[in-house]
Amino acid sequence: MINDLEMAVGDSHDESKLELRLWLRLLSTTKLISQELRRRLRTDFNATLPQFDVLSQLYRENDGLRLGELSQRTMVTNGNVTGLVERLEGDGLLVRERLGQDKRVTVAKLTEHGRREFEKMAAAHESWLKELMTGLDPIVLSGLFSHIGHIKRTAIEHLARAGELETLPD
């Protein structure tokens, strides 16, 4: 069950492939944890990770979000956001509304049921992570948080330069 891709580049400890080795370790780690979180989300809440992502975006926006904005924030294409939102609407967790002057714009907003349901999911989600990371030094976690942020910003910068991103995030 354990990903070993990172070993496939060899055990050499030189710095020549540092980026690659770090990436493979990042990938296998997030895959390991993601699979467990997905399993629990499905078992306990019949939800997926992308769905959880959508709900969490809407939870903090009392006025809801335009689907295009939702698409950007979740890194899911417009077309696929439609399907994602449709499933959640089918479950009664959110509604779509066309209220503004611009008749093209659709806003997705959590229902009351959606808010309550997401609160349960978020609480469970948080406790799962605490469980899986029990025993880790807060100083280390805090340092990681900062450094991973740096990695992310660096990647975004290079992607923007290569024209892969329309919008630069904050």
CB of 71 vs a second copy, minimal distance in Å: 8
CA distance 71 to 54: 9
CA distance 110 to 138: 34
Query: Which tokens go with 122?
Result: 């978020």
113 binds, among a second copy, DNA, none (CB under 5 to 8 A by kind): none
Binding mask 62-101 toward a second copy (x if CB under 8 A, else -) reads ----------xxxx--------------------------
**Range 79-109 burial, b when 16+ CB lie within 10 A, else e:** eebeebbeebeeeebbeeeeeeeeeeebbbb
- Sequence-distant (≥ 6) Cβ neighbours of residue 117 within 8 angstroms: 45, 55, 93
Q: Which is nearer to DNA, 14 or 32 (CB)?
A: 32
Interacting residues toward DNA by CB under 7 A:
35, 38-39, 42-43, 48-51, 66-69, 71, 76-85, 87, 96, 101-107
CB of 115 vs a second copy, minimal distance in Å: 13
Number of residues that bind a second copy (CB under 8 A): 73
CA distance 28 to 7: 11
Q: Which is nearer to a second copy, 99 or 159 (CB)?
A: 159
Angle (deg, nearest 10), helices 67-74 and 49-59: 120
Q: Which stretch binds a second copy (CB under 8 A): 17-25, 85-93, 94-102, 108-116?
A: 17-25
Binding mask 113-132 toward a second copy (x if CB under 8 A, else -) reads ---------x--xx--xxxx
